[in-house]
């Protein structure tokens, strides 16, 4: 795990624990043993530590925080090993490439010098997995780069690149990519330099005089941006000890706070989410194929159909990954508008310093436009992103089937429509798949890849690999109405409206949702995306019903025996489409304004509505609002698993965290359900089903019922789900 060799008077320690050189107990022990050996070796004057493979050290082994710990051969803990390194009279040089994260940066800070390649990144991302730097990071980093930058890096967990780390004093020099050679040369040059002043624990904290202001600003930022998360608060508290206490005493505080966090349910949930996100690309369709049995096609060029918000966002996601894109529209005006949107967004990135003007120019040079499908004869992949209309989509797919080469993969960005029906318009249903992006598509990380009945494993592998290439977290799901995310969402939005019928007001429902940690309430989001979108889809459904001979009554509270709320339609009929019209479930200062205000007109409308339908309005408790919004959603997740639409609970959690703002520190709806107790969820579902028998989303899932009896951890019931499929 840690190799030792000597080259002249330089001892070289190579950390070798693929894939990221995480610090397992054996790595920690190995570092201690090798440093001892170098200290005792009279031929050694200086020590270099570096990592084998792509990284220096990406931190402690995250598996070790919740799983079985390996027993240590040496008694020293990681903070003690780092103190032992720092106390060495022979200089130690950390030669960093790839990443030095978490415990990796802490080890580097225990060294006397740090050099790094230009592309290397450093950071203390512990907060993102619910803990804090527990090996001196909260105390050494403020001494090295100052309290302000340390508070920022430690409370956000963000990584920074070597040039910025150099500016902040975290590293001493940027060197060429031959990191070991550079490390040895640097080490030889510092052999005789005194080590006083190189032991970070002995240095004062920089910018301590502004401590009060810096700490309160950090706390304010955390309350705003990381609402509900406990780790950022404790991280700030730990860093703050660096200006109150001597190093050793502050280290004791760091250890104390670390214990609070590492045993917290938020830390466990965040670590579960960390591994779930990495599991998602490794798709598996039981009995069909999996990521390690099928090779993806290489996508060299792509096309996007539709230059609206979605299409341009998808085009940018592809362009950002250096994939040339042809953007296709039906008329010149729409096309020009779409291109302008892309140009403006890139110009914005240049203004914000996220891109250089040359980079933006290069990305745009890969964008072609066309008004004809004839220009798509050589592209490897097409993503259709027009509005939700089956007839239109089928027409487009039939045309694409004729225009594109036989090997091209044809994808639809539909968020709800039947992929099999879309595929039926082509002679290549094996190459048709859903790629459901989320707005804004260049930014949102989720990609819900929807396999049809006839989609081939190669096509699944291709869009999964494309997803990873364009920086998304791709999840494979099956084909059903609205797939996984929107299908579960449907129960939540319906129930939120039923609550309004019975006595709640939009802001009361939204505040329960936001208190749970979802950044935006159900009604705020509806106002943001526009009530007219759902109205258009519903009107199509009503038309279909009418065509089949069933008259649709606009006041009906039931459709086919299923409870339904016409409130959304009522608002649309009054022109209340949401933010864009300055009124929806809330009132806005003017059309397009962002801040929602409670609207007395809506309160009256709801009261009149309830009266008209003989519903006695009542005060609904936050607990009831919570259960009625979230339990059917969770239950639907179990039904999704039961139907084989998702094959793993982790995939559902990844979808909800990355596509719908579910608070990551609860692990996702499936993980959270396990935390509450599946038996409790099941009993509550049964209770509400009795109260609301006309809402089928209250019918408890059979899978939930079976698992509720067993009380297993999610990792085990997840395996049971897979074996059922």
Does position 360 bind ligand 3H9 by CB under 6 A?
no
C-alpha 609 chain-centroid distance? 40
In the complex, the smallest distance separating the C-beta of residue 601 from ligand 3H9, rounded to whole angstroms, is 49
Alpha carbon distance 646, 26 (integer Å): 37
Does position 549 bind ligand 3H9 by CB under 6 A?
no
Bridge partner list, 476: 449
Q: What would the two tokens of residue 501 be?
A: 């019928």
Give the range of 96-104, 532-540, 541-549, 663-671 binding ligand 3H9 by CB under 6 A.
Answer: 96-104
In the complex, the smallest distance separating the C-beta of residue 275 from ligand 3H9, rounded to whole angstroms, is 6
Catalytic residue among 86, 126, 448, 524: 126
Q: Which is nearer to ligand 3H9, 129 or 703 (CB)?
A: 129
Size of the site for ligand 3H9 (CB under 6 A): 24
Select from 25, 99, 647, 684 the one that contacts ligand 3H9 (CB under 6 A): 99
What would the x/- binding string for ligand 3H9 be over residues 135 to 174, using CB under 6 A?
Answer: x-x-------------------------------------
Alpha carbon distance 479, 433 (integer Å): 10
Select from 51, 91, 125, 306 the one that contacts ligand 3H9 (CB under 6 A): 125
* Residue reference for tokens 């240095």: 203
CB atoms within 10 A of CB 174: 17
What would the x/- binding string for ligand 3H9 be over residues 37 to 76, using CB under 6 A?
Answer: ---------------------xxxxxx-------------
In the complex, the smallest distance separating the C-beta of residue 133 from ligand 3H9, rounded to whole angstroms, is 4
Give the range of 19-27, 391-399, 541-549, 705-713 binding ligand 3H9 by CB under 6 A.
Answer: 19-27
Catalytic residue among 106, 182, 384, 501: 106
Does position 106 bind ligand 3H9 by CB under 6 A?
yes
Select from 133, 474, 506, 659 the one that contacts ligand 3H9 (CB under 6 A): 133
Strands (E), 616-658: none
Select from 91, 102, 183, 667 the one that contacts ligand 3H9 (CB under 6 A): 102
Give CA separation, 211 vs 148, 170, 203, 251, 264, in Å: 8, 20, 16, 18, 28
Contacts of 641 (CB under 8 A, 6+ apart): 647, 649, 652, 703, 721
Q: Which is nearer to ligand 3H9, 102 or 110 (CB)?
A: 102
Does position 182 bind ligand 3H9 by CB under 6 A?
no
**Angle, alpha carbons 452-454-458 (nearest 5°):** 90
* Residue reference for tokens 């929806």: 584
Residue 384 and residue 303 in contact, taking contact as beta carbons nearer than 8 Å:
no
Classify each residue of 335-363 as buried b or exposed e, where b means 16 or more C-beta atoms within 10 Å of its C-beta. beebbebbeebbeebeeeeebeeeebeeb
Q: Which is nearer to ligand 3H9, 20 or 707 (CB)?
A: 20
Does position 650 bind ligand 3H9 by CB under 6 A?
no
Does position 22 bind ligand 3H9 by CB under 6 A?
yes
Helix/strand number for the chain, H first, E second? 30, 21
C-alpha 569 chain-centroid distance? 33
Give the range of 32-40, 97-105, 236-244, 449-457 binding ligand 3H9 by CB under 6 A.
Answer: 97-105
The footprint of ligand 3H9 on residues 249-308 (CB under 6 A) is 275, 278
Q: Look at the alpha carbons of 104, 271, 446, 583 in this order and tell me if their dihedral is positive or negative.
A: negative
Residue 484 and residue 639 in contact, taking contact as beta carbons nearer than 8 Å:
no
Alpha carbon distance 655, 486 (integer Å): 10
Alpha carbon distance 11, 26 (integer Å): 20
Does position 470 bind ligand 3H9 by CB under 6 A?
no
106 classed as catalytic = yes
Give the range of 133-141, 183-191, 370-378, 586-594 binding ligand 3H9 by CB under 6 A.
Answer: 133-141
573 classed as catalytic = no
C-alpha 458 chain-centroid distance? 26
Residues tagged active-site: 106, 126
Residues forming contacts to ligand 3H9 in the complex (CB under 6 A) are 19-20, 22, 58-63, 78, 99, 101-103, 106, 125-126, 129, 133-135, 137, 275, 278
């Amino acid at each position: 795990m840690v190799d030792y060799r000597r080259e002249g008077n330089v001892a070289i320690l190579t950390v070798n624990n693929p894939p990221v050189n995480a610090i397992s107990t054996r790595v920690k022990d190995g570092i201690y043993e090798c440093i001892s050996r170098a200290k005792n070796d009279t031929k050694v004057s200086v020590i270099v530590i570096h990592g084998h493979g792509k990284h220096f050290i990406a931190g402690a082994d995250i598996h070790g925080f919740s799983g079985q710990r390996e027993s240590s051969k040496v008694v020293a803990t990681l903070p003690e090993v780092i103190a032992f390194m720092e106390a060495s009279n022979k200089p130690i040089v950390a030669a960093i490439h790839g990443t030095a994260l978490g415990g990796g940066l802490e080890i580097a800070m225990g060294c006397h010098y740090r050099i790094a390649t230009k592309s290397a990144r450093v950071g203390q991302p512990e907060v993102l997995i619910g803990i804090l730097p527990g090996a001196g990071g909260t105390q050494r980093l403020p001494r090295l780069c100052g309290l302000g930058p340390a508070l920022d890096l430690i409370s956000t967990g963000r990584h920074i690149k070597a040039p910025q780390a150099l500016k902040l004093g975290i590293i001493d020099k940027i060197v060429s990519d031959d990191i070991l050679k550079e490390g040895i040369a640097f080490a030889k040059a510092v052999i005789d330099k005194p080590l006083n002043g190189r032991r970070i624990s002995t240095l004062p904290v920089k910018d301590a005089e502004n401590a009060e202001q810096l700490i309160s600003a950090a706390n304010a930022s955390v309350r705003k941006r990381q609402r509900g998360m406990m780790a950022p608060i404790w991280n700030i508290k730990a860093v703050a000890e660096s200006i109150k206490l001597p190093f050793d005493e502050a280290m004791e505080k760091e250890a104390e706070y670390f214990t609070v966090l590492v045993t917290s349910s938020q830390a466990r949930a965040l670590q579960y989410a960390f591994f779930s996100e990495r599991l998602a690309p490794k798709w598996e369709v039981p009995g069909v194929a999996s990521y390690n049995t099928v090779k993806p096609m290489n996508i060299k060029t792509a096309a996007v159909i539709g230059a609206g918000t979605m299409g341009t966002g998808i085009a940018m996601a592809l362009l950002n990954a250096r994939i040339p894109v042809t953007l296709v529209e039906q008329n010149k005006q729409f096309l020009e508008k779409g291109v302008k949107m892309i140009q403006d967004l890139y110009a914005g990135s240049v203004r914000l310093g996220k891109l250089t003007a040359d980079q933006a120019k290069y990305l745009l040079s890969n964008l072609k436009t066309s008004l004809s499908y004839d220009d798509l004869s050589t592209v490897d992949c097409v993503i259709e992103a027009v509005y939700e209309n089956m007839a239109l989509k089928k027409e487009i797919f039939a045309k694409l089937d004729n225009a594109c080469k036989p090997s091209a993969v044809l994808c639809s960005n539909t968020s709800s429509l039947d992929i099999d029906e879309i595929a039926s318009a082509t002679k290549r249903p094996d190459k048709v798949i859903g790629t459901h992006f989320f707005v804004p598509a260049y930014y949102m990380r989720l990609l819900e890849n929807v396999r049809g009945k006839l989609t081939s494993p190669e096509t699944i592998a291709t869009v999964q690999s494309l997803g990873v290439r364009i920086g998304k977290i791709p999840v494979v799901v099956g084909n059903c109405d609205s797939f996984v995310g929107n299908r579960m969402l449907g129960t939540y939005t319906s129930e939120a409206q039923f609550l309004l019928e019975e006595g709640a007001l939009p802001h009361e429902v939204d505040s329960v949702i936001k208190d749970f940690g979802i950044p935006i309430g159900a009604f705020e989001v509806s106002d943001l995306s526009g009530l007219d979108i759902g109205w258009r889809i519903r009107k199509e459904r009503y038309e279909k019903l009418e065509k089949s001979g069933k008259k649709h009554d606009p006041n009906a509270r039931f459709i086919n025996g299923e409870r339904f709320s016409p409130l959304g339609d009522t608002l649309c009929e009054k022109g209340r489409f949401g933010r864009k019209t300055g009124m929806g479930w809330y009132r806005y200062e003017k059309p397009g304004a962002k801040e929602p205000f409670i609207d007395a007109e809506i309160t009256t409308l709801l009261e009149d509505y309830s009266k008209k339908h003989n519903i006695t309005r009542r005060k609904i408790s936050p607990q009831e609002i919570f259960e009625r919004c979230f339990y059917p959603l969770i239950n639907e997740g179990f039904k999704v698993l039961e139907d084989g639409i998702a094959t793993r609970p982790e995939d559902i959690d990844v979808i909800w965290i990355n596509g719908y703002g579910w608070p990551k520190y609860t692990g996702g709806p499936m993980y959270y359900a396990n935390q509450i107790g599946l038996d409790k969820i099941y009993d509550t579902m049964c209770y509400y089903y009795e109260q609301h028998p006309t809402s089928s989303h209250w019918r408890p899932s059979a899978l939930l019922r079976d698992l509720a009896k067993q009380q297993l951890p999610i990792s085990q019931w997840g395996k049971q789900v897979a074996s059922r499929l």
